[in-house]
Structure 1
Amino acid sequence: MSRRHARSAAADALLPWVLPAIVLIVWQWTASMELVSAKLFPTPLMIAQAGWKLFASGKLGHHMGISLQRALLGLLIGGGLGFALGIANAASKTAYRLFDTTIQMIRNVPHLALVPLVIIWIGIGETSKVFLVALGVLFPIYVNTYHGVRNVGSELLEMGSVYGLRPRELFFHILLPGALPSIFVGLRYALGVMWLTLIVAETIATNEGIGYLAMNAREFMQADIIILSIILYALFGKLADLLAKALERRLLRWNAAYRA
């Protein structure tokens, strides 16, 4: 029985990677037929070789580290602000009336359309890139945090008050746990926005980051490095989503819907 369970678990773990593997095989075969120039449509093996050369030289690790730093800093700033505003506006009618209309107006402006203005205001340094990422992740986390807190049943809060819980205890034992499923939905959506924003932000004049690799490779018609950069963004996005799901399962073990 345990062996059958182990085989089933292994199959479940491998199943999501079947389609990407098929795509790679078809891609390798199609590119190997040389229907298109290898310089324009390199094979996965050529891309892997280019990636290995960059990694061995230390350049790939450096640029990946810079991109991760920008992404995480923007997520911490924008996500923290969105979380705080969501809690405040859900808990206080005065805060909601004061801030929500302005937040919703700004939310409906595509933040990537602000790139020219951000360059004029902030410049082309690291601050502008982090600012764009923070702005992108703020709104998904704000909306879902607000929604999650507002949807915690009032009867639970009344029950907590009857048992003598103080406001701080009501927040940490009832409001926050009840809002976590919605907050994690916002976080996972924000992670996707984070990488999308970073791709655009790293096209602003820079000499570091994965986006720089792609822009520099474009100048020299290095399609393999351009595709490598795109794949790295995709892998980072998948890894971030896996970490968010693992954290979600850990913090929501008490919820039957999140048990294995």
Structure 2
Amino acid sequence: MTVIEAPAPAFEGDERVVRRRLGPGRRFRGAFWIGPAVVLALWSAGSATGLIKPAILTAPWDVVIAFQDQWVNHDLLGNVLSSLARAASGLAFGVVAGGVLAVVSGLSRAGESLIDGPIQIKRSVPTLALIPLFIAWFGIGQEMKIVTIALISLVPIYVHTHNGLRGIDGRYAELAETIGIGRGEFVRHIVLPGALPGFLLGMRFAVTSSLLGLVVVEQYNATAGIGHMITLAEQYGQTDVIVVGLVIYGVFGYCADTAVRLTARRVLAWRQTLEG
């Protein structure tokens, strides 16, 4: 008679191995750049073989030449810094306002009654559709552009932070009451850290949204910025310069999103998830 031995009990280390085998696998160094590198390789191969016509999309090497020309003979650095200043200012205002509103609404029933309804109404109205109204209120200068970017960034910060606050297990509150922790300590040490994953997720959406707003507002009477450069290139039919601007926008967004993801991984190292 064949004897079948029972499997050895799974210890903590074994469980880690199983989770790693069933999850996404071991992380590669520099994995953030693999996808963009593949896209660049396909773009280069398509341009070199003629599958991608220059009239459709400028070849990467022509984009590099146009970038050098804009850097040496035009004020590309000034345009980049101008765009970054607009995006950073609008994003900062949006993050602060969205975070404060989310905390007030998430920690207070009265605050939720006053704040959550208008924010949900705002979600159904595209911010870019409000630009004509903002022009009437703030003019066509820098203030309108920053307000637009801030309002676009505010919504994802509010929504995800508010969801993070409301999603905290109520048993933590019961435990805090049992051991006599005050409301202030409970909010500082349990509620806000518990809402941090939602806030950082909202940051990823807010960064992308701020760049979307930047692309649009820089088409309105901008005297500097990547959008201004693209507008001039469109008037003169300089497709390569347009692609330079689009690539810079893409690099902005990808680097900002990567920075938020790396920050989240370090700050939330205590969480056991498939990502980390």
Equivalent in the alignment of 1:21: 40
The equivalent position to 2:215 in structure 1, one of 191, 199, 207, is 199
Equivalent in the alignment of 2:21: none
Secondary structure of the residue that 2:269 maps to in structure 1? coil
Equivalent in the alignment of 1:183: 199
2:274, 2:52 → 1: CA distance?
48
The equivalent position to 2:62 in structure 1, one of 46, 68, 71, is 46
Structure 2: which amino acid aligns with 1:134? A
Q: How does 1:1-260 map to 2 (within 5 A)?
A: 9-10=28-29, 12=31, 15-30=34-49, 33=50, 36=53, 38=54, 41-57=57-73, 59-257=75-273, 260=276
1:109, 1:8 → 2: CA distance?
40
Structure 1 residue 93, shift from structure 2 partner: 0.6
TM-score, structure 1 normalization:
0.89
Structure 1 residue 97, shift from structure 2 partner: 0.9
1:133, 1:44 → 2: CA distance?
30
Structure with greater helix percent? 1
1:90, 1:11 → 2: CA distance?
37
Structure 1 residue 101, shift from structure 2 partner: 1.3
Instruction: Give yes or no for contact 2:91–2:153 (8 Å, CA) kept in 1.
Output: yes
2:161, 2:146 → 1: CA distance?
22
1:247, 1:103 → 2: CA distance?
27
Structure 1 residue 64, shift from structure 2 partner: 0.8
2:155, 2:148 → 1: CA distance?
12
Instruction: Give yes or no for contact 2:91–2:210 (8 Å, CA) kept in 1.
Output: yes
Q: Assess, with a 3 A threshold, how the Cα gap between structure 1 residues 131 and 155 changes in structure 2: closer, same or farther.
A: same
Instruction: Give yes or no for contact 1:27–1:44 (8 Å, CA) kept in 2.
Output: no
Q: Assess, with a 3 A threshold, how the Cα gap between structure 1 residues 58 and 256 changes in structure 2: closer, same or farther.
A: farther
Instruction: Give yes or no for contact 1:39–1:222 (8 Å, CA) kept in 2.
Output: no
Structure 1 residue 40, shift from structure 2 partner: 6.2
Q: Assess, with a 3 A threshold, how the Cα gap between structure 1 residues 8 and 111 changes in structure 2: closer, same or farther.
A: closer
Equivalent in the alignment of 1:3: none
Q: How many residues align?
A: 251
2:208, 2:32 → 1: CA distance?
22
Over the aligned positions, Cα root-mean-square deviation in angstroms equals 2.2
Moved more, 9-18 or 101-110: 9-18
| Structure 1: runs of 5+ lacking an equivalent | 1-6
Structure 1: which amino acid aligns with 2:225? G
Instruction: Give yes or no for contact 1:28–1:45 (8 Å, CA) kept in 2.
Output: no
Q: Percent identity?
A: 31
Q: Deviation above 6 Å: which 4+ runs of structure 1?
A: none
1:27, 1:12 → 2: CA distance?
24
TM-score, structure 2 normalization:
0.84
Larger Rg belongs to: 2
Structure 1 residue 35, shift from structure 2 partner: 7.8
Structure 2: which amino acid aligns with 1:131? V
